[in-house]
Amino acid sequence: MSNRTDLLLSIADDELILGWRNSEWTGIAPFLEEDLAFSSIAQNEIGHARALYELAAVELGTTADELAFDRSPDEYRCAPLVELRRLEWARTIARHWLYETADEIRLAELKASDDPEIAGIAAKMDREEVYHRMHAEMWIDRLLSTDDGRSRLNEAVDELWPCALGVLDDDLRPELRRRAEERLGRGLSEVEAVPRGVHQAELAELWEEMTMVRRSAPPGSQW
């Protein structure tokens, strides 16, 4: 598999799995408006995953659905940050913000790619990600505005920080640290990143649930 396809699958898997995790809030988010907004963001992420899988599928001679659902859990290339099941709102928002911040750094690099298809899809994704970032940033402001919110956010960020670093390649990690520290107004610990490919136990559970319906039907079934 080419580096290009590997890169496409890494990002596609991040977007698919995060979209899945975020959609776990559908129907049970803290209030109705947030439920709709967060579900909509989840749908966008899955839309991005589909576009990226389609691009990778051309090279691999397969389809987006097969890439999304027919691989085994250990073949996914997503970062551990998106795999974690975090049904607690402060952690969900912390993860959302850390991911969007890392994603912005990654997309900026991809938009400057020599490969016109990669640059094009990155630019397209970024036009939607702008609103995801607006959503994440307003929540961060809100949480930072009270002592209770700040301490919950800090606790969640500290817990997720090694995984957040793992979303990006080595060379981009210092920029994520710089942005996150500046935003939170404090230093973050010097830890080893939990890299891509080291899967959390939660991924296998998610995969079971995500592919259950597809596996129940004969291969090639039309939906």
Partner 1 sequence: MTHVYEVFRQERKGQPFQHAGSVVAPDERFAEIYAREQYGRRQESVALWLVARAAVREIDEFPDEFDLKYRRVDGYSIKARLREARERAGTLDMAPGATDAA
Instruction: Tell me which residue has tokens 């609103």.
Output: 131
- Does position 33 bind partner 1 by CB under 8 A? yes
Looking at 4, 5, 26, 37, which residue binds partner 1 (CB under 8 A)?
Answer: 37
Closest CA to 166 of 98, 218, 212: 98
Tokens in use for 195?
């890299």
- Rounded alpha-carbon distances, angstroms, from residue 180 to 94, 184, 215: 11, 6, 40
- Residue in 26, 40, 154, 200 binding partner 1, rule: CB under 8 A: 40
Instruction: Determine if 34 is a binding residue for partner 1 (CB under 8 A).
Output: yes
How many other C-beta atoms are found inside a 10 Å radius of the C-beta of residue 140? 21
Q: To 10 degrees, the CA torsion angle through 77, 212, 209, 165?
A: 10
In the complex with partner 1, the residue whose CB is nearer, 46 or 57, is 46
Which is closer to partner 1, CB of 37 or CB of 144?
37
Token duo for residue 42: 């989840």
- Which region, judged by CB under 8 A, interacts with partner 1, from 30-38, 92-100, 108-116, 165-173? 30-38
Quick check: 48 binds partner 1 (CB under 8 A)? no
217 is a contact residue toward partner 1 (CB under 8 A)? no
Q: Judged by CB, which is closer to partner 1: 1, or 134?
A: 134
| Residue choice 112, 138, 213, 217 for contact with partner 1 (CB under 8 A) | 138
Among positions 1, 36, 108, 198, the unique one binding partner 1 when judged by CB under 8 A: 36
Among 2, 74, 108, 142, binds partner 1 (CB under 8 A): 142
* Residue 141, C-beta contacts closer than 8 angstroms, at least 6 positions apart: none
Amino acid present at 128: E
The piece of 18-26, 32-40, 167-175, 198-206 that touches partner 1 (CB under 8 A) is 32-40
User: Out of 91, 95, 135, 152, which residue is the one contacting partner 1 (CB under 8 A)?
Assistant: 135
CA angle, 119 then 121 then 122, to 5°: 65
Within a 10 A sphere around the Cβ of 111, how many other Cβ atoms?
A: 16
Residue 100, token pair as written in the block: 């969007």
Say how many residues touch partner 1, by CB under 8 A: 14
Taking the least distance from each CB to partner 1, the nearer of 31 and 223 is 31
What the block records as the tokens of 122 is 């990155």
Chain positions contacting partner 1, by CB under 8 A: 31-34, 36-37, 40-41, 131, 134-135, 138, 141-142
